[in-house]
Amino acid sequence: MIADPVSPSGAVAADPARDAAARQVAAWSGRPDAPVVRSFFDRATFTATHVVHDPATRQAAVVDSVLDYDPASGRTGHLSALAVLDYLRAEGLQVAWHLETHVHADHLSAAPWLQHQTGGALAIGAEIVRVQQVFGKIFNEGTEFARDGSQFDRLFTDGETFRLGAIDAIALHVPGHTPADMAFVIGDAAFIGDTLFMPDYGTARADFPGGDARMLYRSTRRLLSLPDATRLFLCHDYGAPGRPDFAWETTVGAERAGNIHVHDGVAEDSFVAMRTTRDAALDLPRLIMPSVQVNMRGGHLPPPESNGTRYIKIPLDTL
């Protein structure tokens, strides 16, 4: 847990999980056998899916995959996931993990579909149970919907370590955008979901149920206490003025120097004021209703009704 990692002065207090992650990054930085990352950008939802692998063992993890979804017709599709699958097969990679950084509200996860093709374990943060409780209520799910995270093969807690082939990895709990967000630090590469975005775009919103701008600030400072050379891989990019194309990779050093919301020197209170004001003006994501109903089930579609058809619910005047 991160009880209070940031002192009033903005200095980050001692934190064993962060220190372990920092040591791990330092050990892997610049090594020829550091993890290889290939990213796939879905322009429909501005989502980056990352495939990270250990070049020595060819073991891979897929982070935040995308199931295509057309809200007008209710049709799902697998073109985005197929591009990932083609790459995995062409490279001869063996998938050990399907990692979800959080319950996404803007795209549906393709993890179960990919897992069916490739094997590997589906994992998310242990705090998923809080998200399942909140949204289970909002969508008036019956008892068929388990709120214990059992839809996943592994629930990571803060500071838990794991391996990708021969590469050390550590899971960090980085709440704020949602209460359950995780960052996965694999070698010197950190997959940070919706926390920091590119330096010229800033940070993720913190106004969903269970979100908290103050917590988000502390999570971003915690990530930025990793070594400057840490490679950061983001879940989204929406472009920014003066930048010709989408981008999803940066470094801790670049974020500390230039993130427009949380560069070094930005105080917690001013971040919270900025984030809260900005969030109040944002519309909800276009796909929040289908995304949450599917992703809180580990990416499985809701069960079919008596006529064999699966449905997405839309609660009126609730969100």
Give the interface with Fe ion as residue ranges (CB under 5 A): 104, 194
In the complex, minimum distance from the CB of residue 102 to Fe ion, in angstroms, rounded to a whole number: 6
> Is 53 or 104 the residue whose CB approaches Fe ion more closely?
104
Element (H, E) at 202: none
Burial of 32 (0-12, 13-18, 19+ CB in 10 A): exposed
In the complex, minimum distance from the CB of residue 165 to Fe ion, in angstroms, rounded to a whole number: 28
> Is 104 or 130 the residue whose CB approaches Fe ion more closely?
104
> Is 194 or 212 the residue whose CB approaches Fe ion more closely?
194
> Is 127 or 194 the residue whose CB approaches Fe ion more closely?
194
> Is 54 or 194 the residue whose CB approaches Fe ion more closely?
194
Q: Are 290 and 311 in contact (CB under 8 A)?
A: no
Burial of 20 (0-12, 13-18, 19+ CB in 10 A): middle
Q: Which of 152, 106, 105 is nearest to 127 (CA)?
A: 152
β pairing state of 167-173 and 182-186: antiparallel
Contacts of 72 (CB under 8 A, 6+ apart): none
Q: Are 114 and 85 in contact (CB under 8 A)?
A: yes
In the complex, minimum distance from the CB of residue 47 to Fe ion, in angstroms, rounded to a whole number: 9
| CB atoms closer than 10 angstroms to residue 315 | 10
> Is 53 or 236 the residue whose CB approaches Fe ion more closely?
236
Contacts of 29 (CB under 8 A, 6+ apart): 188, 227, 229, 230
In the complex, minimum distance from the CB of residue 63 to Fe ion, in angstroms, rounded to a whole number: 13
In the complex, minimum distance from the CB of residue 45 to Fe ion, in angstroms, rounded to a whole number: 10
Point out the residue whose Cβ comes nearest to Fe ion. 194
Q: Which of 247, 217, 213 is nearest to 232 (CA)?
A: 247
In the complex, minimum distance from the CB of residue 82 to Fe ion, in angstroms, rounded to a whole number: 23
Percent of the chain that is helix, strand, coil (3-state, to 5): 25, 25, 50
In the complex, minimum distance from the CB of residue 175 to Fe ion, in angstroms, rounded to a whole number: 12
> Is 168 or 194 the residue whose CB approaches Fe ion more closely?
194
